[in-house]
Structure 1
């Protein structure tokens, strides 16, 4: 199974770190919207010889034209190794952090994906640009603004999704699905795959499922305990968000979400992590030695996912451990 890792490095070291991960056997690197720009590190890493991907870039604050131009250039710079992964975020962040518009997220995301795809087709195939959607209209493309065909083809457009409507929409119109990391095997198989099937119908259009796994990994008891403490903090943060309640609901933990949410509003972060027990950690993450983590990933996702993004939140992982995980997943 191909493996992607978070490109977690200072901006100036992005290319060096991507090359190092390539040498460890990693197939690709991804970025997400955190404390830094999502595209800049990939621009530096694009020539490292690995696949590059946004997982994810926030779609709503950006114009489809901006997204298309950035994706086009990264596709060319990387030699055809770029995937444009888009996400919706939640309303408070879109309105209060980005200062943008939030409404009808599924339909707005559908419109954004179709608009980006229409722009990419116009450039790649010389089609007249005439996209008229609910939220976006793109009908002007003078020759001086048309980059012309990309020698590596148009980059794929993927959507990050959790809920059934967003997931089904992604399966219907996007080139792939990015499965959110706060997930369990039961939720993935019972709800995510069901929504993908609904969106795909009898379509034969190429489509890939890329999963992201939160990994608590260590070779010693001490390393593993440190990793599990770190992922508990992240799980508590995710679990406090109403959008993630369906994952907890499937496992019978729905009542935990409002409790975590209340504690988050009071800033009681340590108490939140204390509510995430070992059973929850085991269900929501993969945990153990590199070999054990690889085995869990293959069991949960190996029969359905095209590749896996591994995320090590809040703790240090050695390059030797990364190499061992990748080797196990490739074998």
Structure 2
């Protein structure tokens, strides 16, 4: 199993130089990749292009580039450009986001997300392969049949024949789609004790494509909080968990809430959601059960982190993308060092 760094979103408050310091430290430690996120604030390609010019070896991944936010051709152009600028280090992670962001921010109906994603991937793949792009379907029609447009192909030669493509997925059908059409799966809130069911969905998708798990990258985004007391380490992770379980979506449609329910935390997730949607984010964070955090995070000293990494590896995770928590940059840098040392304890 490899280590990676997930930077999350730029908030606009901390010095962006801290993001660069984390990425460079991860590179020095031998991390395989660094990932940047987007929702309705900072965008991931800008961050990754910035990092591409200031790093040399570490992989650069979008987790994610939002499907409703760009045409598939624009995504292919961006992916090919960052891959060129970085010397072939880019990984294209895609996600459909949710109905609130898709419709409220991008103005794109959140309908048939699986079919839309499948069609989107087909166009992106064709464009990155420098095929003359033609696509007919209800979601994308290229070129338009009733105007002056003509079928085009990417106008420069990408640095690689194949840019690795990942799908962020939470629900079972979307996880299966990742297995079928992508090179990897971007997963969150991975509980090693129940990951087998999700990996079965990946295998189902791979089988549809006539493939197995060989070479498929299972990337788990995992909060990392280092210290002598696991309970205290869980505290800074609570707000992160509450945002996703309680606030990342509506009461009627929140994929992360549904995942928490499937993990056996139905009553607790409902309480977190009630509090969060009532505007009581701090109370919602306090209501997140420690058991959920302990099962889906790396909390404690180096030995506990090593044990958690071992469980993730045994569960089928091939890349652990840690989200370092800490009050200061030095604490977050130290957390990355601890994770690297812990992985050495786990061994090959």
TM-score, normalising length: structure 2: 0.83
Shift of 1:109: 1.1
> How far, CA to CA, are the matches of 1:142 and 1:275 in structure 2?
53
Work out which of the residue numbers 22, 25, 47 in structure 2 matches 1:20.
25
> How far, CA to CA, are the matches of 1:260 and 1:173 in structure 2?
34
Tell me if 1:320 matches 2:326.
no
Shift of 1:226: 4.8
Instruction: State whether residues 15 and 46 of structure 1, in contact with CA within 8 Å, keep that contact through their aligned partners in structure 2.
Output: no
What number of residue pairs does the alignment pair up?
320
Inter-CA distance 12–237: structure 2 relative to 1 (3 Å threshold) = closer
> How far, CA to CA, are the matches of 1:25 and 1:321 in structure 2?
14
- Per-residue CA shift, 1:54-100, capped at 9, x if unaligned? 01121112100110000001111111111000111110111112333
- Per-residue CA shift, 1:231-250, capped at 9, x if unaligned? 11221222225312333223
Work out which of the residue numbers 229, 236, 240 in structure 2 matches 1:230.
236
Inter-CA distance 151–175: structure 2 relative to 1 (3 Å threshold) = same
Instruction: State whether residues 325 and 332 of structure 2, in contact with CA within 8 Å, keep that contact through their aligned partners in structure 1.
Output: no
Unaligned runs of 5+ in 1: none
- Per-residue CA shift, 1:109-152, capped at 9, x if unaligned? 1111111011112x1xxx33222233112344447x5113x233
- Per-residue CA shift, 1:150-191, capped at 9, x if unaligned? 233231111000101111111111121111x2232234222x
Moved more, 313-322 or 272-281: 313-322
Work out which of the residue numbers 211, 227, 238 in structure 1 matches 2:220.
211
Shift of 1:306: 2.3
> How far, CA to CA, are the matches of 1:286 and 1:55 in structure 2?
20
Alignment of 1:153-168 (within 5 A): 153-168=161-176
Unaligned runs of 5+ in 2: 9-13, 144-149
Shift of 1:45: 1.3
Inter-CA distance 300–142: structure 2 relative to 1 (3 Å threshold) = closer
Inter-CA distance 249–20: structure 2 relative to 1 (3 Å threshold) = closer
> How far, CA to CA, are the matches of 2:272 and 2:155 in structure 1?
49
Inter-CA distance 251–102: structure 2 relative to 1 (3 Å threshold) = closer
Shift of 1:303: 5.3
Tell me if 1:138 matches 2:142.
yes
Instruction: State whether residues 177 and 210 of structure 1, in contact with CA within 8 Å, keep that contact through their aligned partners in structure 2.
Output: yes
Structure 2 partner of 1:50: 58
Inter-CA distance 152–10: structure 2 relative to 1 (3 Å threshold) = farther
Work out which of the residue numbers 186, 190, 196 in structure 2 matches 1:183.
190
> How far, CA to CA, are the matches of 2:326 and 2:337 in structure 1?
19
Structure 1 partner of 2:292: 280
Structure 1 partner of 2:37: 32
Work out which of the residue numbers 233, 243, 246 in structure 1 matches 2:258.
246
Instruction: State whether residues 29 and 50 of structure 1, in contact with CA within 8 Å, keep that contact through their aligned partners in structure 2.
Output: yes
Instruction: State whether residues 234 and 313 of structure 1, in contact with CA within 8 Å, keep that contact through their aligned partners in structure 2.
Output: no
Inter-CA distance 187–97: structure 2 relative to 1 (3 Å threshold) = farther
Alignment of 1:251-270 (within 5 A): 251-270=263-282
Instruction: State whether residues 269 and 288 of structure 2, in contact with CA within 8 Å, keep that contact through their aligned partners in structure 1.
Output: no
Alignment of 1:118-137 (within 5 A): 118-121=126-129, 123=130, 127-137=131-141
> How far, CA to CA, are the matches of 1:302 and 1:243 in structure 2?
25
Q: CA RMSD in A?
A: 2.4
Inter-CA distance 286–18: structure 2 relative to 1 (3 Å threshold) = closer
> How far, CA to CA, are the matches of 2:139 and 2:97 in structure 1?
17
Instruction: State whether residues 186 and 250 of structure 1, in contact with CA within 8 Å, keep that contact through their aligned partners in structure 2.
Output: no
Shift of 1:286: 2.2
- Per-residue CA shift, 1:199-246, capped at 9, x if unaligned? 11162375322111122322x33xx55531111122122222531233
Instruction: State whether residues 227 and 315 of structure 1, in contact with CA within 8 Å, keep that contact through their aligned partners in structure 2.
Output: no
Shift of 1:24: 2.8
Inter-CA distance 61–101: structure 2 relative to 1 (3 Å threshold) = farther
Work out which of the residue numbers 67, 71, 77 in structure 1 matches 2:75.
67
Tell me if 1:194 matches 2:200.
yes
